[in-house]
Structure 1
Amino acid sequence: MKTLKFNKYLLALFLLIVGVNTLFAQDTDFIELEARVIDKDTKDALVFADVLILDTNISTVTNTDGEFLLKVPHTNLDGSIIISHLGYEKKELKISSIMNNEKIALEPAITELDEISISLVTKDARDLVERTLEKKSSLYNNENSVMTAFYRETIKKRRKNASLSEAVVKIHKQPYNNFRTDNIELIKARKNTDYSKLDTLALKLQGGPFSNLYTDIIKYPEFIFTPEDMPKYKFSYGKSTKINNRQIYVVNFKQKEDIGIPLYFGKLYIDAETLALTNAVYSLNVSNRELSSRMYVRKKPRKVDVYPTEAKYRVNYRTTNGKWQYAYSNISLTFKVNWKGKLFNSTYTLNSEMAITDWQIQDTKLAKKRSNLITPSTIISEKASGFSDPRFWGAYNIIEPEKSIESAIKKIQKQLKRT
């Protein structure tokens, strides 16, 4: 089944290995803009909000605390930023007017999309999804492009961060109207791991940035909605919403009750005017422990049982000059690890996210023999080194680390110094 291809790139269990690869850079031709995005009414943090410098391709997203850090080139200091979030009115602010650590409030979008509007397109939610998947040649970027992206993966044992890996990569994104797969170059990478928290066995995320790239449902529909699997899903309309002042259809999907194999369930957010997919949030049905385990676990000792208890995915798209393209994705996988003969089990959570922070059209083709190309079987943590230099990223935009991650980095560094 083609759907299984998506998962086989995601995870592997291996004995811990330490790799070394260090790069340092510094650049002062920019300022750092820090702020927090919140709901105007509830004051809650807005997670995964899109932050873009107007009239550029420079962008980032807010973290789980609603915070962002954006490196603004001096040439853009007189410009503006656009902040948008699903279900909220977008906000445009002059960069010069924003104070560091300022709270920026977005107003919830009030929307009413009646059944008549829906019926003008189709009353059949599955038909709407199929039309959306057919739109990739007309609505999405059909030129070769090079995307700069920031990638982060964390591994938690229970609630404590045990391993952190980050990387800047360049994605050689193929046009959406062809079937060629994307390529990824590793530019810079670093990691920290507290081996005392991982026992003798660790979960490692195989695939790294490729895992997140494959959540691009429009480019890679074969990993979730194959023609063979579409009839196995039940599609229905949910309550509509707004993004960037545009009406959005919400389509719920889940596997039919009589289907025994693990499939996905979640929501698709589709632009009401163009039928473009703007966002998707979905999970794998892991109720069949044996089959779902086969989809993820590539290698493990015989005395260990490993199975997923949760597998969640998110992908966001962004539009520029009327064309949509991949912008951000997040994967969260939770596993139970049972050692035979031991009374207690361990719970591990693996989270990876990747955000496009800049991009440009690229006319020339990628040289396949570049030494820093990575593959879908790459384990990023084996190609990275420590967190020692605060100037490491230079002018590259990154996703601001959460408070828990910042705290974990400090604790891990202390642990490594002691050992």
Structure 2
Amino acid sequence: MHIKLIGVVVSILLFCVPVTGQQQDGSVLERRISIQVKDLPLTAVLDQISWQAKVYFSYDASLINTEKTFSLQLLDKSLFHVLKKIFNPEIFRFTELENQIIITKKAPKEASSVARPDTVPVKYFFLSGKILDRKHLRPIEYASISVFNQPVGTITNSDGDFLLKLHPQFIDDTIAVSSMGYAQKQMPANQLLDEDLIFLDPISIRIKEIKVTAISPEKLLENIRANFEENYSSDSRLMNAFYRETVKQDGNYINVSEAVIEILKAPYYNSIRNDIVRLIKGRQSQDVQPFKWLNFKLQGGPFSITQLDIIKNMESFIDPDFQHFYKYKISRVIWYNNDPVYIIEFEPINGHSFPGFVGELFVHRETFAIVRAQFGFDRTGLKKATPILIKRTPQGVKARPSFVRYTVNYQQYQGKWQLATAQASIKFKIRSRKENINSEFHSVSDLLVTNIQNTKLKRFQRDQSFSKRDIFVEMIGSYDSQFWENYNIIKPDEDLRNAIQNLSSEK
């Protein structure tokens, strides 16, 4: 049976030690300044900027006309924006070294999109903001923010906030912002240095408004499978990814664990190899609030979340051998990245013993690629899935899943659709009459692919790889300062930030 689920281990709590982390700063070129000058020479203008932004400038005076005068009226703009008004970005480059900005001329025919060997440490730009629905002014969660035609990006959290860490080589490139049901928005990356709010326009489509040949959901599924080779890579890929695992007990965070991982992505088509995951660096707060009664642990961690790739693992609702266990219907068509997308709803047919899923498939109308899937269990499915989801409980303790939802998204890169994000959200009811326990645990696991490279690697060393039996929180260390450096992550939402800040204030 093709069902890939995240198992859970429940064990007695022995001890807990609270720890926390800190956020590092981004580029000094992000600092905001205001400047109003008229007919001042370059040296005087740079002096004013230096005083406001608390930076120093270094340049070869023989390459720059320091007597040239400037008139500027800029209010609350990034230092990068201001410098581009003074120095032609097609000719000059700004390199950061601590609080010093080195201004040099670009080499002839140097392409802005090609990375140079760095002679000084590179300081990434930290671009942050909030994505809102223009019509209702509501935050848009899990919207994608990425460099156009590059495998570099992040997503918004549940508050619509994002943080994108960008190498300077991409600062003049185009950023694409997209979400299901909205028109894609494109903008220069450096515009995010001066704008905090991005508005997306909702788009609704009626099926009759699109000229399509009548198609049944069964035929659509057949087309999905027939186009696997065209839509998904037959080569191995090396993916950098961010993974976060959180657990709440009765609404309070009791564990937050995060890691940067590498995924050796096996070919989608005609391959029996499995994906392999290894840890680059990880951290945890063992308890943001004290545990009560039980220690709740997820088994498999980053390995299990990669199994939500329904294309690679041929989940039951797209597997032709299991299709007769489901009923399907095309419910509607929505807009995604400026293309129509079919939505297929599916649910299990009653009378079968295996725990079939209830959910939706989002299918690109032109390529028949699955761009998104969200699925879970109804009440009957939850009961059938209990032995798969819960691996171990203490004697006298009863545990049952009360909610399961999985979400997986794909993005197009180099003409092929690649795994982009995945999330597993699971709730459990825990009871023990003897110990007077009646509690709810809620685990959320998130995966964000932040970069993709071609590779000839076939495997990682065995002692570096995660397995489905590993418990993630037992394999990583505690929080430390400057931890994430330039790795892209999912920005914590307000609820999670407050929990960690409260912990920090209690230390």
Give the structure-2-normalised TM-score: 0.75
1:12 equivalent to 2:106? Answer: no
**Which residue among 174, 191, 196 is the counterpart of 1:80?**
174
Q: Cα deviation per residue 1:359-399 (whole Å; 9 max; x = unaligned)?
A: 11112333444x3221122211111222231x101111111
How far is 1:226 from its partner? 4.0
Code of the aligned partner of 1:353: D
Greater Rg over alpha carbons, structure = 2
Q: 2:450 & 2:414 partners in 1: Cα distance?
A: 17
Match of 1:65 among 159, 170, 185: 159
Cα gap change, 1:282/1:222 in structure 2, threshold over 3 Å: closer, same or farther? closer
Which secondary structure does the structure 1 equivalent of 2:190 belong to? helix
Please state how far the C-alpha of 1:260 moved relative to its aligned partner. Answer: 4.8
Name the structure 2 match of 1:152: 244
Which segment is superposed worse, 52-61 or 218-227? 218-227
Query: What is the alpha-carbon distance in structure 2 between the residues aligned to residue 374 and residue 18 of structure 1?
Result: 25
Q: Which residue of 1 aligns with 2:399?
A: 306
Matches within 5 A, 1:315-394: 315-342=408-435, 345-369=438-462, 371-389=463-481, 391-394=482-485
2:276 corresponds in structure 1 to 183
Match of 1:131 among 204, 223, 226: 223
In the alignment, which of 253, 257, 275 is matched to residue 350 of structure 2? 257
State the alpha-carbon separation in 1 of the partners of residues 448 and 316 from structure 2: 20
Using the alignment, how far apart are the partners of 2:293 and 2:500 within structure 1? 21
> Which ranges in structure 2 are unaligned for 5 or more consecutive residues?
25-120
**Is the 2:12–2:394 contact (alpha carbons within 8 Å) kept by the matching residues of 1?**
no
In terms of mean alpha carbon deviation, does 162-171 or 293-302 score higher? Answer: 293-302
Per-residue displacement from partner, 1:195-229 (whole Å, max 9, x unpaired)?
76322312211111122211111111146544443
- Among candidates 252, 260, 277, match of residue 168 of structure 1: 260
For 1:351 and 1:323, the matched residues in 2 are separated by 28
| Aligned position for 1:208 | 301
Tell me if the contact between 2:356 and 2:381 (Cα under 8 Å) persists in the aligned partners. no
Distance in 2 between the 1:353 and 1:101 partners?
27
Residue aligning to 1:199: 292
AA in 2 matched with 1:182? D
What is the TM-score normalised by the length of structure 1? 0.90
CA contact (8 A) 1:162 1:408 kept: no
- Report the equivalent of 2:129: 35
- The alignment status of 1:236 with 2:337, answered yes or no, reads no
Matched, 1:277 2:376: no
Indicate conservation of the 8 Å contact 1:253/1:266, yes or no.
Answer: yes
In the other structure, the counterpart of 2:102 is: none
C-alpha distance in structure 2 between counterparts of 1:156 and 1:220, whole Å: 29
Residue 300 to residue 288, structure 1, CA distance change in 2 (3 Å):
same
Q: CA RMSD in A?
A: 2.6
Q: Which has the higher contact order (CA 8 A, sep 6+)?
A: 1
Query: Which residue identity is paired with 1:10?
Result: G
3-state secondary structure, aligned to 1:128: helix
Specify whether residues 413 and 377 from structure 1 end up closer, same or farther in structure 2 by C-alpha distance, changes over 3 A only. farther
Name stretches of at least 5 consecutive residues in structure 1 with no aligned partner: none
The CA deviation string for residues 48-68 of structure 1, in whole angstroms up to 9 with x for no partner, is: 111111242211111111111
2:476 is equivalent to residue 395 of structure 1: no
Q: How many residues align?
A: 408
Distance 2:168 2:209 in 1: 49
Give the letter for the 2:375 counterpart.
Answer: Y
Equivalent-residue separation in structure 2 for 1:338 and 1:251 (angstroms): 37
Residue 345 of structure 1 aligns to a residue in which SS?
A: strand
In structure 2, the CA distance between the partners of 1:149 and 1:223, relative to structure 1 (3 Å rule), is: farther
Q: Kindly provide the amino acid, as one letter, of the partner of residue 52 in structure 1.
A: S
